[in-house]
Structure 1
């Protein structure tokens, strides 16, 4: 809105007896629809507001004679509806229409999208666990390739370019490297330890996001953030079960304990990398198109994976049949999961979506029991409860704060 709606037209007498139009502030009523343009006429007789110009002429260019006002005669005040009221009504109607467009036609549709995203991500992690003869880095490379091919058409459509804004390229580069590294570490952890344990540790990243945002973005850190962090670390310890705390006789360890520790370190490092990625995305805000963020993630991740595979000499050609179809399915499931997660965040608040994402942990335990014939240990269940409590607490606290600020 311009300043027009905050002004009124005042007509007064000049030294020569001609009316002079001046613009004065208009009092703002409690109901904006009742804002009126008040014409103050300091003379006897009727004056049409639309027929007065700045030089006292009428609309036809002729000067109108003004009758003199007897001394002490009352001033007549005319109130005309201001067109700014119509403009405010139109703007309010537009805002209501935009808010109505954001609300889903079906209540809870955003939560359903979030649940579907959890299902697709969990099934993709299960397929990573089931595939044999293919390194985790090679699986990550294939997923990055699928995402890169998928994001090119919308980038061309939106004309975002491939480099991004000059001032944001450093952040885009860091987002791509850290995000892809987190994905590689997660897949490696799934290979080295039980699926549910790796998922639980990786899912602890929201707690670390709050701490990193306090350090780098100067966001407020409360006692609740410290408590959630302690609960998360406790859950990770219960899942890792180091021998110096739990003894040498350990149950529920998949394979050698050395591999279990490697998987724990990889999953924990991946959680830190994912938290750093979230902080970078907050730093960039809406200054960067989301397609550019995915483009850097997929492109730098693919380069990182190819270089790592040649250094480790782990590049292998997947066998025909199950392995190749599994790799393709992993890439497609990752893309579909990202689509559903993006749609969920577009039509639902972040708090409920984050709470629904805790289903990743539950689904990991269920899929591990049904398809991998592994029963979770009480230590793993206890660690999962600690991590879920922490992440749910972070989500509920943010949800409460955002709701209180709006009210």
Structure 2
């Protein structure tokens, strides 16, 4: 007969919780890759219109869940409200700014800049959350960043065939990407700070409202609203649902795992993106991209192995 002590059961529960966090993040990365793949099938989507549709769908889906839980009438501690407010605003700002930097900057440059969030999240988590900064984590972060750089092949490292590299707009695009990266890193730490006291529907509900407001203002002061094609509406809806699913899973991942490790695991979205583009679009990645993908795969596998070993030894 096998007897389980309370300490053994607690260790198993902690290990399962930690592995559950990484599982949530891997599924979140896959959903995010699906959302990006669907965008490629759109005929004439505007940046603001795509964001507006996404946040409206998110609001429509999360409102019934949030209302059913009766969280609308729950009085929260002031500290919890402030952290939730910071996480909602920084997440919205990061997404909106990033969408608007894409037309001004090559996608490889933007991806390379955003890859530094692995370092920023680790730094912010060390400062604000007191998460330990281990040598193994730094090693895995460096490998993941190198892999992302090889995949994105930014023009400021590998050169560019385009004269002027988008001209003076490139500087503005780089600044926007850096600001977006900082906001996303702060958002990741803030979501982790909320802990398990906040339900995912509460965050997604206020995130949708904040995102709707920012999207509307950005459209009003830039291009103006343009109705999408009828063929695009269905694809935009599927993309919005996949993006919402990805956001919910990332929120759950941060509730069960350290912010730094979740950020490293999020690099797996590059792998899912390669697989989806190969099978659905017939896009064959370059040699450097395959090497970068291999490094990212190695970092994710190593992270998972270290996570399991750490939990077993505790």
The alignment's TM-score, normalised by the length of structure 1, stands at 0.58
Aligned equivalent of 1:294, options 201, 204, 212: 204
Q: Which residue of 2 aligns with 1:316?
A: 226
- Contact 2:118 2:141 (8 Å CA) reproduced: no
- Contact 1:228 1:393 (8 Å CA) reproduced: yes
Correspondence 1:343-382 to 2 at 5 A: 359-372=268-281, 374-382=283-291
Distance 1:380 1:263, change over 3 A: farther
Kindly indicate whether residue 154 of structure 2 is the aligned counterpart of residue 241 of structure 1: yes
Secondary structure, in 3 states, of the residue corresponding to 2:130?
coil
Distance 1:373 1:204, change over 3 A: farther
Q: Which residue of 2 aligns with 1:278?
A: 188
Aligned equivalent of 2:242, options 333, 351, 375: 333
Rg larger in structure? 1
Shifted more, 227-236 versus 309-318: the winner is 227-236
Secondary structure, in 3 states, of the residue corresponding to 1:273?
helix
Separation in 1, partners of 2:313, 2:172: 43
Once the two structures are TM-superposed, the CA of residue 369 in structure 1 deviates from its matched residue by 3.5
Separation in 2, partners of 1:229, 1:355: 7
Structure 2, unaligned stretches of length 5 or more? 1-5
Instruction: Give per-residue Cα distances to partners, 1:203-238, cap 9 Å, x unaligned.
Output: 664453222111222332233344344434434544
Greater RCO (CA < 8 Å, at least 6 residues apart): 2
Structure 1, unaligned stretches of length 5 or more? 1-91, 251-255
Aligned equivalent of 2:132, options 220, 229, 232: 220
- Contact 1:114 1:341 (8 Å CA) reproduced: yes
Kindly indicate whether residue 43 of structure 2 is the aligned counterpart of residue 132 of structure 1: yes
Secondary structure, in 3 states, of the residue corresponding to 2:277?
helix
Q: Which residue of 2 aligns with 1:170?
A: 82
Separation in 2, partners of 1:111, 1:171: 23
Secondary structure, in 3 states, of the residue corresponding to 1:172?
helix
Once the two structures are TM-superposed, the CA of residue 302 in structure 1 deviates from its matched residue by 1.2
The two structures, once aligned, show a CA RMSD in angstroms of: 4.5
Q: Which residue of 1 aligns with 2:3?
A: none
Separation in 2, partners of 1:299, 1:323: 23
Distance 1:167 1:358, change over 3 A: closer
- Contact 1:110 1:344 (8 Å CA) reproduced: yes
Separation in 1, partners of 2:37, 2:171: 20
Distance 1:168 1:343, change over 3 A: closer
Separation in 1, partners of 2:218, 2:133: 37
- Contact 2:89 2:210 (8 Å CA) reproduced: yes
Separation in 2, partners of 1:262, 1:376: 29
Distance 1:330 1:349, change over 3 A: same
